Amino acid sequence: MRESKVKKQERAEEIVSRLRALYPESKCSLNYKSAHELLVATILSAQCTDHRVNIVTKDLFQKYRTPTDFAYCSVTDLAKDIHSCGYHNQKAKSIQGSSLIIVEEHDEIVPGSLNELVALPGVGRKTANCVLGEIYNVPSMVIDTHMIRIMGLLKFTKTKDAKQIELEMMGIFKEKDWVNLTHLIIDHGRAVCIARRPQCGDCALVDLCPSSSI
């Protein structure tokens, strides 16, 4: 039976409520002290675990302390410094390129609009929405692999297209929950709804999930 939008919204609200009870400390798992550090960390996180990124940025942010440091550094040295995050040559170019624009066109301030952020090298909607939500408190939704997978399991979407999922979820979940939702889903995806072996028997959402094996 087809679920109405109102029913989806009601189910979504209950899901957020239960996840908040389970993960009250849920937040961005990348370590950063500034908007630019978050931007760099998020670029590094593509195809890489947040845990690995945090290990790398611990030293990286001691060596490169400002957007200017990244903008005018040796891209070869930067690639070596981030080597263990994977795709290090491309990520180094993206980090230097975006830093250069931030320094020369935005007075060292990371822009606070989606259009300006996605115009930066290596910055897509996922990275832009992360910065907007975490730094500028702009209602935004980060669609990562956990979100794509779990929103599909919850039958809130049928697509794997991140931008389409973002727009669909914005119509289902309350705006005040958008930023926190991704962190809640990531925590749940790591702890219970694990990709290769979902623990449906231990899941607090079991009665709200059409894909449950129970």
Domain ranges of the chain: 5-27+141-208, 35-135
In whole angstroms, give the CA distance from residue 94 to residue 3: 42
Q: Is 59 a catalytic residue?
A: no
Of residues 126, 174, 187, 202, which has the active-site annotation?
Answer: 126
Exactly one of 144, 158, 177, 207 is catalytic; which is it? 144
Q: Does residue 150 contact residue 185 with C-beta atoms inside 8 Å?
A: yes
CATH top class, domain 35-135:
mainly alpha
Owner of token pair 């630019």? 36
Active-site residue flag, 144? yes
The model's pTM is: 0.93
Residues of the chain short of pLDDT 50, as ranges, are: none
pLDDT number for residue 55: 98
pLDDT at 213: 79
Is there a shared CATH topology between the 5-27+141-208 domain and the 35-135 domain? no
d(CA 190, CA 182): 12
pLDDT of residue 106: 97
Query: What pLDDT shows up at residue 88?
Result: 98
**Answer CATH for 5-27+141-208 from 1.10.3720.10, 3.40.190.10, 3.40.50.720, 1.10.1670.10:** 1.10.1670.10
Q: Give the integer Cα–Cα distance in Å for 68 and 95.
A: 11
